[in-house]
Every structure is written in C-alpha cells, then in structure tokens.
Structure 1
C-alpha cells in the first residue's frame, strides 16, 4: 500500500509518497512559482542557428527556450526525411509557433521545448500528431499488450498517437475512450487559444504536484491520501472522482501540536535522504557528490563486517547499496549521468547480481533510467532522464 502525504503551508506545498512507511518520492511546489514542465506556449522564434541545427524561441520566461531540429520534424521517425533539412528551412526569425516544454530551465540554460506534443491522462498519453500506438513496456503479458494496442488503433483517428500507460492493464475500452475524449477537448482548447493570442503566450499548464501524483501513481482502491488542508482535500476528491469510478477516501489531518510531516516521520527521513552521507541499515554507507556534468556515488563498507569472507561482505554491502541508490535517485530526482563506485568485487557473477538488483529496483521509478554497465575501472554507469533541476530541501 502507498500513502500520499500532503503538507500545505502558505509558502509551499509538499508531497511525500511512502511505500511501507519508507519515502520513495518527494516534491515541493511554491504556489507562485509552479514549474512549466509539460506546459504549452505560443512562442516567437528569435534566433535560428544552422550550425547548431537549433533555434531559440521566446516563451515569455526569463530565458529563451531551446528548440532542436529533431523536435521540429515529424514525431514519427518513419515520416521524417532521410536527410535532415537545415533548421533555417523549417523556421524563420519572427515566426510564431506552438511549443511544449520538454525540460525545465536548469542553471544557466533555458528550457528545452518541442513540437512533439503530448497530453498525459489517467490511462493514456495523447499525442495529437504522432500517428502511432505504443503500449507501456511495463505491461509484460503479450496477450494484454496486443489487446491494448488493438484498442488504441481502434480509437485513434487521423494522425493521432496514443501511448497506453501501465495502469491501463485490464481496463475497459470505455474507460480509455473517456480519457481520450477529455484529452482531445484539452488539445482543442490549446489550439483555439493559440489562434486568439500573440506570442509569447502561455496556452496550457500542467496540473499541480498533488493532482499530478493522483493522476499518475494513486490507486484509489489500495492507496491512502492524507492532507492537512480541507480545501486541498476537496480538490483531491474531485480529481479522484474524475479518474475512476472507485470511491476513494481522502483523510484530513488535524493537529495543533505537530505538522503532518512530523507525525508521519517524513521530516526525519528527508534529513537523512538528502544528506551527503547516507548510512545503510547493515552498517555501510554511501556518499553522493554532484558536479556540473554528472553525479558520483561512492559505496563504503563502513561498520559492516558480516559475511564469511571479504567477497561475501563486499557483495552484501553492494547489494544493499544498490537497493538504496535506486530509492534515493527517485527521492532526490537525480538526473543525467550517474557514476557509482561500488566496492571492488572479484567475481563477475557478483557484479552481475549487483547491477541486476539496481535495474530491478529502478523499474519502480516513473522516470526513465538506463544502466549502461561496468567500466574497466569497476565503476557502474547509468543515466536517468533529467527534466527538472534536482530537488533540494526547501
């Protein structure tokens, strides 16, 4: 069972996702500074750079957004030209176009935008111009995959594209069609607004963090949602009614003595999980350091001395570290290149076991990651999609 714990304060809303009491996701949002990831804008092209095959567009933010040539071409690879045209053939300075934010602005870089539009719903992701149907790789049964793909092909029209999400497993065609129709209406509103305003203009902004988590990870029949605000609880109940027929109960936390995060032990977990040095239950520890280019994670045996021999002790520590690292990159939302310096192991089968444990735990993460493999120096390389600045305690 999962628990969504939402702490609403005047200056900030925080959300913690717990699995069996352990923190697995954390998000914070300032009411006046909501992120723009997934938002749609009518943009004006301000600079076209043929040498970079990219353009900079004004979306009304502090920094101009970056638009790469691949994000201008047709989203279906089979419909793209074999030889990419110059960006100057596709875009002109002063041209107004509709774009969607693919990555938030990070550091000195502006946001990255695309014309490959997608609107996430509860059961599907709607892509108005993609012209294909895909099924989540996490749905493994071939029979169910075939059923869902056929359903998607039956429902889509014209150049529409559909990605069928993991939660759609065993869902009826009626539920998926309702989701599709709502997203079609949303896209129609975006297009209408684009025709009525001048660039730069915001056309659509994604849901709040609480609404996004309800949409993406909450299962009303199994999970618990606890909020310390009656107003937010009412909004959450409306959202839950929209995503499915199951009746979900939202609990309201009331206490004058302590905050909801203190009551559920979340503040204590956050202090531990966002520290540079994180101790493992078995006595080992990991150290997490960040550079501009990548994140480095070092694993140490620390106080752990168990095992019948050195290789067994090292392997057991590395396996525990792999499980914890998979959770921490999700909690801290670490993206980009990640290099893990596990303790040296002599046997190849032990290295395979450690990387297999890491890959298995990363499957629970909604953000896409890829374990590349071991380097000659015995370091494990992995990447995790980076769409926002890494979280810090606010």
Structure 2
C-alpha cells in the first residue's frame, strides 16, 4: 500500500481515525467518552486562586474542575469562557485557556485578536492575494481570522463556507458568555472531524466499517503494548512512569565503530512517531547510546528536524550533565488505551 491513507472507523464503540503512510501506522486518534475533548468550550466559574502559581481553579459542569494557568485579575464567582487545551492526568484538573479559538480545516476565528492573517507556509503572492479577497468578501467581524496553510490549492467556495461556519459558531458561543452557571457550550471535535481538519495532505479516505481490521490497523495497534521499538539500526525502549517517560536506546548486535551514532540517529527520527502513537507526553528523558560530544550535535539536529514535522508541541530542553537528553511535550491526547483492544 503506497501513499497516505486515512481510515475512519471504530474500535468497539469508540470513534477512531488512523493515518497510514505506505501501509505503516503514522498516527491514531481515539475518542475517550469519559474525558473532555481538546477544543471543547465551557462557561466556567472561577473557584479559587492557586497561590504561588498565579493560576485559578474553575468549576465546570457535572462537578468537573479546570485549571487556568494565568488567573491574574480574576475573582471567585466570575464566569468566563475557557477552552480545553489537552488531556488531564488522572486526579488532576482539566487544563484550559481563556484564549478561545474556533478552528476548522481552512480557517481559525480568533475573538479578541482582530486582524487578518495568512499562514506563512503559503508563499505565492498571487495565492495570498486571492485568499485575502475571499476573506474580505465574506468576513465582516471584529474578531480576527487566520487562513491556514491547507487553503493553498483548495476550492474557493469551500474556504468561504468554512470561514462563515466558524464565524457563525464564534458568534453563537460568545452570545452565551454572560451566563452564571457552568455550562458546556461546544463538545469539541471527534477523531473523524479532527482527521478531516488536520490531515490535509493528499490521501485516500476509507470509511467502510471494519476497515481497521482489513487494513491491518488493529494488528499495528496491538504492537503498541510492547515497549521495544525496532529501529533497523538497533532498538529503543519507550516506557512511561508516573514522573516521566524514559527512553533507552541500544545498538543491538552491531559492534561497529559507527553503531552508536547510527542507532542514536535512527532513534531521533523514530521518537516522535513512537510518542505520538502511544499518546505519551510530559517530561521525557532519553538515554542515548554513549557517544562523543561532536556526535551529540548531529543527534540534536536530527531530533529538531523530526519534531519540527510533528503536530504536537514539544520543547527540546537539552543535555543533562549525565549525558541524558530532556524534552517537554504537551499533553494533547490521553495515553493509548491498550485495554480497548482486548474485546476487539
């Protein structure tokens, strides 16, 4: 199977979407019915400030709690719109932001941030001018608008419809801002919608029921239960703990002088995918095979290139005195639910 394939199916009762590249699983999105979806918008009620952190705890519907990192100037009892930014670990509050966005495949509407912007990835001046003309024709609002890179080559009518849909949603949600009780205003996008919104490259789309089984997605998902990841040039173990994700790189049976560098470069290229499929984030510590400081620069360059293409925000912190490499990754999705596959 050559090229990219987007598979929209279910695992049990849970909606799921898979991205295959040349038949190899590259990304997986699974709906977790008991957890708020990232992007969901709530009217939250400020509950209590977190001293020393500058944050604010908020009350959400059904007894849920949220944590807003920047709570300066807020007072208990105040109602405000917040948007879920990522996955909440067990026992912790849901992370939210007050910078609410309305995001779709082509357009992002930004209340409180006026202005019209076009993705820097679109460099052709004629294309940018055409997009500006579309936006000016249909977008008459004090909100801001960002046209995404996926607009390049897209149908003009679809772009215009997308802008209008996001503007209508933004106006409807903001009209409910003044309530006095916690309320869910949008539920966030499910995996099928997120796949349409974010996987915008050329791809075959398969929607037949049972496609996960027929195309080998379930078999590849079953392998995620194994901490060992084959690299071709050695292997690595990716193991989550309560405090961090530990990654250990090994050369395997290769004893050549270049074995360490080859295994480390292969691990750097494979790490974003390994973390993405397993839904692992937070603090990540990588124990590369021992190498010279000169080779560290090559490995770090490879890491930066690999994570630059990854959709999940990751900060590469750097080397520790003991020669470990540390990074911090945003918790945008929950860990892969291995138990879900037992009944499939």
- TM (normalized to structure 2)? 0.85
Shift of 1:180: 2.1
Is the counterpart of residue 296 in structure 1 residue 243 in structure 2? no
Contact 1:369–1:385, Cα closer than 8 Å, also in 2: yes
Are 1:322 and 2:268 an aligned pair?
yes
Q: Offset of 1:132 from its aligned partner?
A: 4.5
Relative distance call for 1:337 and 1:163 in structure 2 (3 A) is: farther
Give 1:129 shift.
1.0
Q: Are 2:10 and 1:2 aligned?
A: no
Which of structure 1's runs of 4+ aligned residues deviate more than 6 A?
Answer: 148-153
Q: Provide the aligned C-alpha RMSD in A.
A: 2.9
The answer to whether the 8 A contact 2:280-2:331 is kept is yes
Q: What SS class does the counterpart of residue 351 from structure 1 fall into?
A: helix
Contact 1:2 1:17 in 2 (8 A): yes
Report what 1:273 is aligned to: 224
Aligned equivalent of 2:175: 192
CA contact (8 A) 2:114 2:142 kept: yes
In the alignment, structure 1 residue 226 sits paired with structure 2 residue 171: no
- What is the alpha-carbon distance in structure 2 between the residues aligned to residue 370 and residue 151 of structure 1? 36
| 1:152 and 1:162 in contact (8 A); partners too | no
1:16 to 1:173, Cα distance in 2 relative to 1, 3 A: closer
Shift of 1:12: 2.1
Q: Shift in Å at residue 187 of structure 1?
A: 0.9
In 2, the alpha carbon distance for the partners of 1:286 and 1:383 equals 19
Residue 62 of structure 1 and its aligned partner are, at CA, apart by 4.0
Distance 1:315 1:145, change over 3 A: farther
Identify if the C-alpha distance between structure 1 residues 145 and 51 changes in structure 2 by more than 3 Å, giving closer, same or farther.
Answer: farther
CA contact (8 A) 1:134 1:149 kept: no
Q: Is the aligned partner of 1:367 residue 2:312?
A: yes
- Partner residue, 2:213: 262
1:300 and 1:276 map into 2 onto residues whose CA distance is: 13
Report if the CA contact (8 A) 1:274-1:392 is conserved.
no
Number of corresponding residues: 336
Secondary structure of the equivalent of 2:34?
Answer: coil
1:212 equivalent among 194, 200, 204: 194
Secondary structure at the counterpart of residue 61 of structure 2: coil
Per-residue CA deviations over 1:63-122 (Å, capped at 9, x if unaligned) read: 3111232xx6xxxxxxxxxxxxxx3xx323222222222233222211122221101111
| 1:6-57 deviations in Å (ceiling 9; x for gaps) | 3325532332211111111112225x43633211112222223454322221
Residue 61 of structure 1, CA deviation: 4.1
1:2-21 superposed matches below 5 A: 2-21=4-23
Q: Secondary structure at 1:353's aligned position in 2?
A: helix
1:171-225 deviation line (CA, Å, top 9, x unaligned): 5776544322211100112123445x55111111222111111121144xx3112
1:248 aligns with: none
Match of 1:93 in 2: 76
Q: 1:347/1:57 Cα in 2 relative to 1: closer, same or farther (>3 Å)?
A: closer
d(CA) in 2 for partners of 1:373, 1:184:
41
Distance 2:196 2:311 in 1: 13
CA distance in 2, matches of 1:198, 1:154: 36
Instruction: Give the drift of 1:321.
Output: 1.6
Contact kept, 8 Å, 1:327 with 1:361, in 2: the verdict is no
Cα pair 2:110 2:145 within 8 Å, conserved: yes
Change (3 A) 1:68 1:132: farther
Is the 8 Å Cα contact of residues 323 and 357 (structure 1) preserved in structure 2?
Answer: yes
Using structure 1 for the length normalisation, give the TM-score: 0.75
Partner of 1:121: 104
Equivalent of 1:131 in 114, 119, 126: 114
